Amino acid sequence: MRVAVVGAGGVGGLIGGLLARAGNDVSFVARGAMLAALRERGLEVQSPRGSFRISSVDASEDPGALRPAEVVLVAVKGWQVREVAPRLAPLLGPGAFAVPLENGVEAAPALAAALGAERVVGGLCHLLAWVDAPGVVKHAGDSLRVTVGEWPHGSSPRLERLAAAMRDAKIDAVVSPDIEAAAWEKFLFIDAFGSVGAVTRSPAGQFRTIQASRELLRAAMEETAAVGRARGARVPVDAVDKALALVDSLRPESTASMQRDLQAGRPSELFDQTGAVVRLAAEAGVDAPVHRFLYAALLPQETAARGSTKTSP
């Protein structure tokens, strides 16, 4: 397949690298030090599923400078989706479609607003990967799963073909009949994991074993599930129990990317995770006191990182 990956960070670099190693024609939209490294040295991937280097990489900061693709994997940060979406049209060849891989539940609708609903599907991933150095992506742990589905519900031959290409690349790919529900199910995990971890400034092994912080974690998950259901998503009844079990299965030192960004003084996905729950709850007429607290507690760090005075999600 001809695949364009927008965002060569941990997620985009890992998935794009694996697809390229399997023989697919992969290009990257990147910038800064990562773009320079891709052009000069190629892409190195370090993974339990095999470490390798791709010496020749087609990469550009301008999506219009790359060859149109059959599939566009959008792997930027949540707040960057609306910024980059209008620039992606030249990347989409005839019959092509975009797949968002961001945390949260708003990326697919945002892409659809810019590109057209028929050119966007739903997607999410479960993996732990990061940029170890410019041009070097590191993947840790056993999880490397990508879930796709027609938004908001359904499967299709085009997604089955993409999933098959991913499985050939040693990516555990699944086509979900209800990607909206799957997105909310992941969202209630990653939002609570990142928000509670950031507020407590501790890794999973600490906050999951202390009764008070574990209760905060569960309350945040239940609140997000309630918001999703109020907005029409078919969030499974056991979603919170499964998310708590997932937190319990993590390595004790595990942290979410939002927590790592906040603690490092970088802009994070606070507005797109914790803040999104606050906003979506208000739109749905659902009270969200837990998320209002978490958002208020984390907002000073976010505004300092962004050098702005933005205070609303």
The pLDDT assigned to 312 comes to 54
- Are 136 and 267 part of one and the same domain? no
Which pair of structure tokens corresponds to residue 166? 């991913």
Confidence of residue 23 (pLDDT cuts 50, 70, 90): very high
What is the pLDDT averaged over residues 162-185? Answer: 97
Single out the residue of 47, 90, 97 nearest to residue 71, CA to CA: 97
| Structural domain includes residue 232 | yes
Confidence of residue 248 (pLDDT cuts 50, 70, 90): very high
- Are 105 and 224 part of one and the same domain? no
Domain boundary among 122, 155, 177: 177
Average pLDDT over the chain reads: 95
Percent of the chain topping pLDDT 90: 95
Distance (Å, rounded) from C-alpha 213 to C-alpha 207? 5
CB 240, CB 225: distance < 8 Å: yes
What is the pLDDT averaged over residues 46-53? Answer: 96
Domain range spanning residue 261? 181-306
Is residue 311's pLDDT more than 80?
no
Domain boundary among 156, 177, 198: 177
Confidence of residue 236 (pLDDT cuts 50, 70, 90): very high
What is the pLDDT averaged over residues 296-309? Answer: 90
What is the pLDDT averaged over residues 190-195? Answer: 97
- Are 153 and 229 part of one and the same domain? no
| Structural domain includes residue 160 | yes
Is residue 297's pLDDT more than 70?
yes
Can you give the three-state secondary structure of 265-305, one letter per residue?
CCCCCCCCCHHHHHHHHHHHCCCCHHHHHHHHHHHHHHHHH
Span 208-230, pLDDT tens digits: 999 999 999 999 999 999 999 99
Number of domains observed in the structure of the chain: 2
Domain boundary among 150, 177, 204: 177
| Structural domain includes residue 312 | no
The pLDDT assigned to 141 comes to 86
| Structural domain includes residue 311 | no
Predicted TM-score (pTM) of this structure = 0.92
* Beta-bridge partners for 29: 6, 60
Distance (Å, rounded) from C-alpha 302 to C-alpha 173? 34
Is residue 309's pLDDT more than 70?
no
Distance (Å, rounded) from C-alpha 192 to C-alpha 82? 23
- Are 49 and 189 part of one and the same domain? no
Confidence of residue 142 (pLDDT cuts 50, 70, 90): confident
- Are 267 and 172 part of one and the same domain? no
The CATH number that applies at residue 157 is 3.40.50.720
Percent of the chain topping pLDDT 70: 98
| Structural domain includes residue 233 | yes
